[in-house]
Amino acid sequence: MRELNIANIPPAGDERPMRSVVQRVDRASVSVGECTISRIENGLLVFLGVEGGDTEVDADFLLEKIINLRVFEDTQGKMNLSLIDTSGGMLIISQFTLLADCRKGRRPSFIAAADPENARRLYDYFVVKAGEKVKRVGTGEFQAMMKIDSINDGPVTLLLDSRKQF
Protein backbone atom coordinates (compact mmCIF):
# COMPACT_ATOMS: atom_id res chain seq x y z
CA MET A 1 0.00 0.00 0.00
CA ARG A 2 1.28 3.45 -0.95
CA GLU A 3 1.83 5.78 1.96
CA LEU A 4 0.07 9.14 1.71
CA ASN A 5 2.24 12.21 1.87
CA ILE A 6 0.15 15.18 2.99
CA ALA A 7 2.98 17.51 1.95
CA ASN A 8 2.12 16.72 -1.70
CA ILE A 9 -1.30 18.33 -1.37
CA PRO A 10 -1.12 21.83 -2.84
CA PRO A 11 -1.62 24.76 -0.45
CA ALA A 12 -5.19 25.97 -0.14
CA GLY A 13 -4.81 29.51 -1.44
CA ASP A 14 -8.02 30.72 -3.08
CA GLU A 15 -8.87 27.25 -4.36
CA ARG A 16 -11.17 25.00 -2.41
CA PRO A 17 -10.31 21.36 -1.81
CA MET A 18 -12.17 18.16 -2.52
CA ARG A 19 -14.94 18.09 0.04
CA SER A 20 -17.15 15.54 1.66
CA VAL A 21 -20.04 15.37 4.03
CA VAL A 22 -20.00 12.09 5.93
CA GLN A 23 -22.99 10.78 7.86
CA ARG A 24 -23.10 7.72 10.06
CA VAL A 25 -26.23 5.82 9.05
CA ASP A 26 -28.29 2.82 10.09
CA ARG A 27 -29.22 2.53 6.41
CA ALA A 28 -29.14 4.59 3.25
CA SER A 29 -30.26 4.16 -0.32
CA VAL A 30 -30.17 6.09 -3.57
CA SER A 31 -32.80 6.05 -6.30
CA VAL A 32 -32.86 7.37 -9.84
CA GLY A 33 -36.40 7.77 -11.09
CA GLU A 34 -38.45 5.04 -9.45
CA CYS A 35 -35.56 2.58 -9.24
CA THR A 36 -33.38 2.06 -6.15
CA ILE A 37 -29.89 1.62 -7.56
CA SER A 38 -27.89 1.10 -4.37
CA ARG A 39 -28.30 0.66 -0.63
CA ILE A 40 -26.25 -0.01 2.47
CA GLU A 41 -26.92 -0.97 6.07
CA ASN A 42 -24.86 0.31 9.02
CA GLY A 43 -22.12 2.46 7.64
CA LEU A 44 -21.29 5.81 6.14
CA LEU A 45 -23.13 7.93 3.60
CA VAL A 46 -20.51 10.01 1.81
CA PHE A 47 -21.37 13.03 -0.33
CA LEU A 48 -18.29 13.86 -2.43
CA GLY A 49 -17.60 17.19 -4.15
CA VAL A 50 -14.67 17.47 -6.57
CA GLU A 51 -13.07 20.88 -7.09
CA GLY A 52 -11.17 21.94 -10.21
CA GLY A 53 -7.52 21.15 -9.59
CA ASP A 54 -8.16 18.18 -7.31
CA THR A 55 -6.03 15.09 -7.91
CA GLU A 56 -5.81 11.48 -6.85
CA VAL A 57 -3.79 12.69 -3.84
CA ASP A 58 -6.87 14.58 -2.60
CA ALA A 59 -9.08 11.53 -3.17
CA ASP A 60 -6.62 9.19 -1.42
CA PHE A 61 -6.34 11.52 1.57
CA LEU A 62 -10.10 11.84 1.98
CA LEU A 63 -10.74 8.13 1.57
CA GLU A 64 -8.13 7.19 4.17
CA LYS A 65 -9.50 9.80 6.56
CA ILE A 66 -13.11 8.65 6.09
CA ILE A 67 -12.57 4.91 6.45
CA ASN A 68 -10.38 5.35 9.52
CA LEU A 69 -12.47 7.92 11.41
CA ARG A 70 -13.45 6.51 14.78
CA VAL A 71 -17.15 7.37 14.65
CA PHE A 72 -18.76 4.04 15.56
CA GLU A 73 -19.46 3.02 19.13
CA ASP A 74 -17.54 0.31 20.93
CA THR A 75 -19.05 -1.95 23.61
CA GLN A 76 -18.79 0.90 26.15
CA GLY A 77 -20.74 3.29 23.91
CA LYS A 78 -17.66 5.38 23.04
CA MET A 79 -16.88 6.43 19.47
CA ASN A 80 -13.73 4.31 19.14
CA LEU A 81 -14.34 2.18 16.03
CA SER A 82 -13.84 2.99 12.36
CA LEU A 83 -15.69 1.81 9.28
CA ILE A 84 -12.88 -0.70 8.74
CA ASP A 85 -13.25 -2.00 12.34
CA THR A 86 -17.01 -2.50 11.95
CA SER A 87 -16.99 -3.83 8.37
CA GLY A 88 -19.70 -1.27 7.63
CA GLY A 89 -20.88 -0.20 4.22
CA MET A 90 -20.19 3.02 2.34
CA LEU A 91 -22.63 4.73 -0.02
CA ILE A 92 -20.82 7.33 -2.14
CA ILE A 93 -22.80 10.09 -3.84
CA SER A 94 -21.24 12.67 -6.16
CA GLN A 95 -22.38 16.16 -5.20
CA PHE A 96 -20.86 19.16 -6.94
CA THR A 97 -23.03 21.50 -4.86
CA LEU A 98 -20.63 20.99 -1.94
CA LEU A 99 -18.37 23.44 -3.77
CA ALA A 100 -21.02 26.15 -4.04
CA ASP A 101 -19.96 29.69 -3.25
CA CYS A 102 -22.88 31.48 -1.59
CA ARG A 103 -21.01 34.55 -0.36
CA LYS A 104 -22.44 36.95 -2.94
CA GLY A 105 -25.98 37.38 -4.13
CA ARG A 106 -28.68 34.78 -3.82
CA ARG A 107 -27.69 32.29 -6.47
CA PRO A 108 -24.89 29.86 -5.62
CA SER A 109 -21.87 29.89 -7.90
CA PHE A 110 -20.46 26.51 -8.88
CA ILE A 111 -17.45 27.83 -10.74
CA ALA A 112 -15.04 26.09 -8.34
CA ALA A 113 -16.46 22.64 -9.11
CA ALA A 114 -14.41 20.45 -11.43
CA ASP A 115 -15.59 20.08 -15.01
CA PRO A 116 -17.77 16.98 -15.42
CA GLU A 117 -15.07 14.89 -17.14
CA ASN A 118 -12.49 15.41 -14.38
CA ALA A 119 -15.09 15.18 -11.62
CA ARG A 120 -16.30 11.82 -12.98
CA ARG A 121 -12.73 10.56 -13.28
CA LEU A 122 -11.91 11.41 -9.64
CA TYR A 123 -15.30 10.20 -8.37
CA ASP A 124 -14.77 6.87 -10.16
CA TYR A 125 -11.22 6.71 -8.80
CA PHE A 126 -12.53 7.31 -5.25
CA VAL A 127 -15.16 4.58 -5.69
CA VAL A 128 -12.65 2.04 -7.02
CA LYS A 129 -10.20 2.75 -4.20
CA ALA A 130 -13.02 2.52 -1.64
CA GLY A 131 -13.96 -0.87 -3.08
CA GLU A 132 -10.41 -2.08 -2.42
CA LYS A 133 -10.69 -1.21 1.28
CA VAL A 134 -14.38 -1.44 2.21
CA LYS A 135 -16.39 -4.68 1.90
CA ARG A 136 -19.68 -3.07 0.82
CA VAL A 137 -19.60 0.01 -1.42
CA GLY A 138 -22.62 1.50 -3.14
CA THR A 139 -22.82 4.49 -5.46
CA GLY A 140 -25.20 6.94 -6.96
CA GLU A 141 -25.35 7.73 -10.65
CA PHE A 142 -23.00 10.50 -11.72
CA GLN A 143 -24.84 13.62 -13.04
CA ALA A 144 -28.28 12.10 -12.42
CA MET A 145 -31.11 13.54 -10.36
CA MET A 146 -31.07 11.26 -7.35
CA LYS A 147 -33.24 10.74 -4.30
CA ILE A 148 -31.27 9.86 -1.19
CA ASP A 149 -33.04 8.13 1.66
CA SER A 150 -31.14 7.73 4.92
CA ILE A 151 -31.66 6.99 8.57
CA ASN A 152 -28.89 8.83 10.39
CA ASP A 153 -27.34 7.16 13.41
CA GLY A 154 -26.68 9.56 16.23
CA PRO A 155 -26.88 11.78 14.25
CA VAL A 156 -23.20 11.96 13.40
CA THR A 157 -22.41 14.30 10.49
CA LEU A 158 -18.88 15.44 9.66
CA LEU A 159 -17.43 17.89 7.15
CA LEU A 160 -14.08 16.93 5.66
CA ASP A 161 -11.80 18.38 3.01
CA SER A 162 -8.55 17.25 1.51
CA ARG A 163 -6.60 20.34 2.55
CA LYS A 164 -7.80 20.46 6.15
CA GLN A 165 -9.38 23.90 5.92
CA PHE A 166 -12.07 22.87 8.41
Q: What CA–CA distances, in Å, run from 71 to 25, 32, 64, 74, 129? A: 11, 29, 14, 9, 21
d(CA 142, CA 123): 8
d(CA 79, CA 69): 9
What DSSP character marks residue 101? Answer: B
Catalytic residues: 95-97
Burial class for 146, CB neighbours closer than 10 Å (0-12, 13-18, 19+): middle
What DSSP character marks residue 85? Answer: H
**Helices assigned H by DSSP within the chain:** 56-68, 83-86, 116-133
CB 45 within 8 A of CB 29: no
